[in-house]
Chain A
């Protein structure tokens, strides 16, 4: 089963524009992470935001987290053709040292020149 659902499923923008992807989840979490996957490759970690944080930045990435609404957003500013990929949110839940990492359905981003 999947914890999160992402919106939109697919997004097509032009280079230089901003891309916003949203993620909703169902249960209480320890943290939320965003990953990127290029076609046919493994997932690569982008950014992690803890449950007690509301916003985090990393380069051109900005992530927000609203635990009251069980939602997160990923903003990619000044997009480039190389940003074309699928983006997934993932939630970490669990107590003690064992943490379950569950992924959402993903957003396919296409950035055109």
Chain B
């Protein structure tokens, strides 16, 4: 397995544009986590899924953020409309329940 794969690796967009981040889980994993990392706030849990169902989205900062799992191996995190304060590195990670998590390489988002 190639591990958790995120795309794109880098994204630069203008304020107000829609941004979609993508994540492919490791085959067989049924827990999926989305995190945002900034210098100011560290590594924040945005939302996590179990068996394709969102369990806790209390970390999603605003209604501009949404996440989906259309199938067991794929997830998207969408920001619409994007704002400069959304600039951060976004990570997804997958795991078996309660076990170690495997992280993707992250998407560095810059909103100008």
Contacts and interface: CB of A to CB of B under 8 A. Distances in A.
Interface residues of A, number: 26
Contacts of A68: none
Given A2-B42, A48-B100, A98-B55, A103 B35 contact: yes
Interface residues of B, number: 28
Contacts, number: 68
Contacts of B35: 103
A1 B2 CA distance: 31
Interface of A: 1-2, 30-31, 33, 35, 41-45, 48, 88, 90, 92, 94, 97-106
Interface of B: 4, 30-31, 33, 35, 42-45, 48, 50-51, 55-56, 59, 91, 93, 95, 97-106
Given A100-B48, A100-B56, A101-B48, A41 B43 contact: no
Contact of A33 (B4, B30, B100, B105): B100
Given A45-B101, A45-B102, A48-B99, 12 more contacts: A2-B44, A30-B98, A42-B4, A88-B43, A94-B55, A98-B48, A98-B55, A100-B45, A101-B93, A103-B42, A103-B45, A106-B42
